[in-house]
Structure 1
Amino acid sequence: MGLGEQARWWGLALLALALFLWLFSGAVTPFLAGMAIAYFLDPVADRLERRGFSRLAATAAVMGLVVLAAIMAILVLVPVLIDQFARVVRATPDYLVAIQQFLEGGMERYAPAAVTEGGLLATAFDNLETQVKNASGKIVESIYSGGVAVIDFLGLVIITPVVAFYMLLDWDRMIDEIDHWLPRRHAPMIRRIAGDIDGVLAGFVRGQLTVCIILGGFYAVALLALGLNFGILVGLFAGLISFIPFVGSLVGGALSIGIALFQFWGEPWWIVAVAAVFLVGQAVEGNYLTPRLVGGSVGLHPVWLMFALSAFGAAMGFVGLLIAVPTAAAIGVLARFALEQYRQGRLYQGGEALLPDDPDHERDHERDHERDRGRRPAE
């Protein structure tokens, strides 16, 4: 089988997989979530195996702790988050009125026509308030009457732990079996690429998820201690989106400071304290958590990550969000591999291609890296 024919077969397989995920995006969500949980927990189960546990005992112990933690989170956090979200929906029109009054007070001096009845500012806020009320009503209606959504949620809650348990139990066996499917001639190269992808995912997904959990807990507890309205909801939301560098602290800080301005107006020290929470969180994340838990650059640029989330989310909904990060990581690794092959080929070299183990190739490759870093190449 020639290289072109192999490429066609691999391309058809990837196309079939993408088509399957797109057609059955609503049904595969619990299975993808279970696979993600199993991948995340596999190192923990492997460590327990090295301590003398059987694979079944290690899997049962790990999943038992995860299910217990999830039940506690559902019983404790979910009612609080639902209550705070309902309060946000009810309070949003009042916040809009307060913002309108604040802006009108400042603009009456400079642009009085904009704040009169039918003026630009008044019309804009009337339209925004109407849209917010309509959206709030639709959200509440969908929460209470969305029977399909409830069924999907129950399916996710029930099926995902079962899938995660069996995937975690058979993870190593499954990897060995897939390794036997690889074309023998290209197996070492495929293992190398898969290892690079696993390294990126291990560094980003596992490490960054841990960072998000720590930051979300810190923000929620700190804002709750300061007495900020909706502090738990805002704090957990800021931690959840902290996998995009700086976005979590910026968005969470802006929301928290905005709420603090209305709640603590006339008490500026509380507003400063709210801002300090996010400054401390950003400092701890950048100087301690990310270097220790995520490590150095894993090849996922924030812009590429945001594009992947937007593109896959728009194309496949929630399933797209689940596979966006691992797919972006895999594409990044494949792109770097393709670039490496290009730099070893005749198109880049301008003559005879250099073999990967050629000393001249290694020296030229190192010189290129030094030149890219702005250093003088070593002779």
Structure 2
Amino acid sequence: MTLKQQFKFWAILTAVFVAALVLLSNILLPFVLGMAVAYFLDPVADKLEEKGMGRTTATTLIVGAFILISALVIVLLVPALLDQLIGLLKRLPGYVISLYELLKPLVSQVIDIPGLKDSEEFKEIVTKQLGGAASNIGTLLSKLLDQGLAFFNVISLLVITPVVAFYLLRDWDHIVAKVDSWLPRKNLSVLRKLAKDIDDVLAGFVRGQSTVCLVLAVYYGVALLSVGLEFGLVIGIITGLISFIPFVGAIVGFIASVGVALFQFWPDFVLIGIVGGIFVVGQILEGYVLTPKLVGEKVGLHPVWVMFGLLAGGSLFGFVGVLIAVPVAAVVGVLSRFALSQYIASPVYGRDAAEIPEEDLELLDK
């Protein structure tokens, strides 16, 4: 097969894959989630196998524990989070008005803004605008529920996802071996190297960063709740869950929690300082303990690339696109680095072979 034929084959395969995503996006969610769960838990199944447990038994134990933990989280945590989120939305106009009252004397001395002189008019505007925003959020959530989480889809998520996860986790090694047997023999070593690089990136980011986010969500939620911060649980959990983008989660959580603490605890600077200190400790924990241990330093996914992938995936394919965004970004990143190494080692770049870095030579593979 010539290079042109190979390119045509892979282009057609990619087009078919994208078309399938577009056409089947409404039913793919439980299957994508099941695949994600199986991939995430495969190392645990391998460990149990090494200890002498059968693969089916290990899979049953792992999936059962996962379902139990997920059910407990939904039953115990989700209602509390919803209550706090609704309470936060209700209190948001009051926070903005209090901030306005605090900053009005300073701002009015520098800038003459219409409406600043009339506190009642400003309060009415803020209440109306934030009320409209809360209403829009509610409408958006109802649309998501109508379109993405209808009754049938809820049943699919609760029933089909665990079944898909069970079978994929049980047969994971066989599936990998089967896919390996389909690879072109001529380029087998290069393709295996690329597949290993992709798996390393995914394992480092998806498994590692997911674990980091969960740990941080528990830490921030429990710490802010123990201080007595209003809405501390929802702020802490949201902060942890968006911590896969370095500094963004911590900055958003710090601003939100310290802002709430200023209005709740003022003028108790000790409690306000404790709330700020929680995020300082969280950043130290993330930067020096969790990320080096669980993610490592060779993931190779830049935060900006991750954000672009998430936004592009969500825009093109909805929630399913968000789920597959990071894996696709990892594949594109690895393939791009491979293509760059090929270019640098080619006559087009014009560099002698002796000057090519060793890691680029390894990718060229014989």
Normalising by structure 2, report the TM-score. 0.91
Deviations 1:88-121 (A, max 9, x none): 12212222222222232333333455344689x9
**Partner-residue secondary structure (3-state), 1:4:** helix
Instruction: List aligned pairs for 1:113-262, cutoff 5 A.
Output: 113-116=113-116, 127=125, 129-140=127-138, 146-148=145-147, 149-151=149-151, 152-262=153-263
Partner of 1:376: none
Verify the 8 A CA contact 1:30 1:160 in the aligned structure 2.
yes
Deviation at 1:201, TM superposition (A): 0.7
Are the equivalent residues in 1 in contact too, given 2:250–2:283 (CA < 8 A)?
yes
Hey, what's the Cα distance between the residues in 1 that align with 2:252 and 2:310?
17
Encode CA deviations 1:271-317: one digit per residue, 9 max, x unaligned: 11000000000001101111111111311111111111122222222
- Which stretch shifts more, 65-74 or 152-161? 152-161
The equivalences for 1:52-71 within 5 A come to: 52-71=52-71
Task: Give 2:364's aligned residue.
Answer: none
Q: Cα distance, 1:53 vs. partner?
A: 1.0
Partners of 2:13 and 2:124 in 1: how far apart?
53
Secondary structure of the 1:296 match is coil
CA distance in 2, matches of 1:139, 1:153: 21
Q: 1:118 to 1:21 in 2, by over 3 A?
A: farther
The whole-number CA distance in structure 2 between the counterparts of 1:117 and 1:336 is 58
* CA drift at 1:15: 1.2
Question: Structure 1 counterpart of 2:226, which letter?
Answer: A
Aligned partner of 1:294: which letter?
A: V
Counterpart CA distance in 2 for 1:108 and 1:190 is 65
> More displaced, 194-203 or 94-103?
94-103
Q: Could you list the per-position Cα deviations for residues 17-45 of structure 1 after superposition, in whole angstroms to 9, with x for gaps in the alignment?
A: 11211222221011111101100111110
Alpha-carbon displacement from aligned partner over 1:30-70 (angstroms, at most 9, x marks no partner): 11111011001111101111111111001001111111111
Alpha-carbon distance in 2 for matches of 1:332, 1:15: 19
Percent of paired sites with the same residue: 44
Kindly indicate whether the alpha-carbon contact (under 8 Å) linking 2:342 and 2:360 is maintained by their aligned counterparts in 1.
Answer: no
Amino acid corresponding to residue 134 of structure 2 in structure 1? S
TM-score relative to the length of structure 1? 0.88
> Is 1:78 equivalent to 2:70 in the alignment?
no
CA distance in 2, matches of 1:289, 1:111: 46
The CA distance in 1 between the partners of 2:216 and 2:13, in whole Å, is 40
Aligned to 1:45: 45
Cα-to-partner distance string for 1:217-273 (whole Å, 9 max, x where unaligned): 000000000000111101010100111111111111111111111111111111110
* Match in the other structure for 2:93: 93
Letter of the aligned partner of 1:248 in structure 2? G
Match of 1:308 in 2: 309
Instruction: Note if contact 1:107-1:115 (Cα within 8 Å) is conserved in structure 2.
Output: no
Asked if 1 retains the 8 angstrom alpha-carbon contact of 2:220 and 2:236, the reply is yes
Question: Following TM superposition, by how much is the alpha carbon of 1:6 offset from its aligned partner in structure 2, in angstroms?
Answer: 1.5
Please tell me whether the aligned partners of residues 88 and 230 of structure 1 are also in contact (alpha carbons under 8 angstroms). yes
What is the root-mean-square deviation in Å for CA atoms of aligned residues? 2.4
3-state SS, counterpart of residue 162 of structure 1: helix
Aligned CA distance change for structure 1 residues 198 and 144 (closer, same or farther; 3 Å)? closer
Letter in 1 for 2:343: Y
Aligned to 2:320: 319
Post-superposition CA distance 1:173-207 (Å, at most 9, x none): 11111111111112221111011000111111111
Residues 1:365 and 2:349 are matched in the alignment: no
Structure 1 counterpart of 2:281: 280
Shift of 1:336: 0.8
Taking the aligned partners of 1:139 and 1:113, their CA distance within structure 2 comes to: 29
Structure 2 distance, partners of 1:203, 1:109, is: 52
Paired amino acid for 2:357:
H
Partners of 1:309 and 1:245 in 2: CA distance: 15
**Amino acid of the structure 2 residue aligned with 1:94:** G
Stretch deviating more after TM superposition (11-20 or 143-152): 143-152
Once the two structures are superposed, residues 128-158 of structure 1 have per-residue CA deviations (whole angstroms, 9 ceiling, x without a partner) of 5423212323444666794553423443233
Equivalent pair of 1:85/1:233 in contact (CA under 8 Å): yes
Distance 1:116 1:247 in 2: 32
Tell me if structure 2 keeps the 8 A contact 1:313–1:319.
yes
- Does the C-alpha gap of structure 1 residues 53 and 366 become closer, same or farther in structure 2, counting only changes over 3 Å? closer
Name whichever of 150-159 and 61-70 sits farther off: 150-159
Partner of 2:27, secondary structure, is helix
User: Greater RCO between the two (CA within 8 Å, min separation 6)?
Assistant: 2
1:105–1:288: structure 2 CA closer, same or farther, 3 Å change rule? Answer: same
Tell me, yes or no, if the aligned pair for 2:30 and 2:160 is still in contact at 8 Å.
yes
Rounded to whole Å, the distance in 2 between the matches of 1:240 and 1:291 is 18
Rate the CA distance shift 1:11–1:76 in 2: closer, same or farther, 3 A. same
Separation in structure 2 between the aligned mates of residue 367 and residue 23 of structure 1, nearest angstrom: 40
